[in-house]
Amino acid sequence: MELQLDLNKQYTYADYLTWLDDKRRELINGFIKIMTPAPRRIHQEISSYLHRDIANYLRKKSCKVYHAPFDVRLIEKDKTADKEIINVVQPDISVICDLSKLDDRGCLGAPDFIIEILSPSTSKTDLKDKYALYQKFGVKEYWIVFPTEKVIYQYVLEKGKYEQKGIYVEDEPISPHIFPDLSIDLKEVFKD
């Protein structure tokens, strides 16, 4: 029996927890965003490389890195009950340095660093909706990866607004603003 959900209705995390099927969804301001069943191979290769580099760097640090599917519940101040949460996303990569935000269901609150890898079906959501959401909830750093173009846009939160810190192409190294001593070789990230 297929689950029938109204895409024009607002839902909460409490509703989200009842959807026991194999479809991946996110909630943005209470509205459902359907995710693709499985990303393309190039998406997975880029994600694996970035995750591996970041995870190796964080091995002796107090931050943790996770890859999708991993629920991040973005919360309004003091609205932590499941029925009050209306933003649940599954970033491709999330780095959390305040470990008190982690629980058995994922992350409750904004990660410090998020990476989204664009795919044709998610580009509008990642470029517009999630950009605004991550900025609003205080994600300190946000990277948007364009696999076909072999480019990464780096945004850093300054005084509540994202500032573009750079556009990095396939033959350049990139370092997270929050981890300046971590250098990631984009030749390796984007190699075919």
Considering the entire predicted model, what is its pTM?
Answer: 0.93
Judged against a pLDDT cut of 80, whether residue 84 lies above it is answered with yes
Dist. CA 147–CA 15, nearest whole Å: 33
Confidence of residue 2 (pLDDT cuts 50, 70, 90): low
Dist. CA 125–CA 129, nearest whole Å: 5
Dist. CA 148–CA 160, nearest whole Å: 30
Q: Is CATH 3.90.1570.10 what the domain over 41-70+89-189 is classified as, yes or no?
A: yes
What's the first-to-final CA gap in the chain, in angstroms? 41
pLDDT digits (tens, 9 = 90+) for 101-160: 999 999 999 999 999 999 876 677 778 899 999 999 999 999 999 999 999 999 999 999
